[in-house]
């Protein structure tokens, strides 16, 4: 369900001290 090019940014976001809103913003930015 998750595109391969999103897996990288997702892993980075998961490791970084981000809030859920920031993680969602990262995912949305990479999804477009």
The pLDDT tens digits for 8-20 are: 666 555 555 667 7
Q: Mean pLDDT, to the nearest integer, of 13-32? A: 73
CB burial of residue 21 (10 Å; 0-12, 13-18, 19+): exposed
pLDDT at residue 14, rounded to an integer: 56
pLDDT band at 2 (very low <50, low <70, confident <90, very high): low
pLDDT at residue 30, rounded to an integer: 81
Q: Mean pLDDT, to the nearest integer, of 14-30? A: 74
d(CA 21, CA 32) in angstroms, rounded, equals 17
Q: Choose among 8, 10, 1, 4: nearest CA to 28.
A: 10
Residue 22 has pLDDT above 70, yes or no: yes
């Amino acid at each position: 369900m998750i595109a391969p090019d999103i897996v990288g940014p997702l892993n980075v976001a998961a490791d970084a001290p981000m809030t859920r809103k920031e993680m969602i913003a990262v995912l949305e930015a990479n999804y477009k």
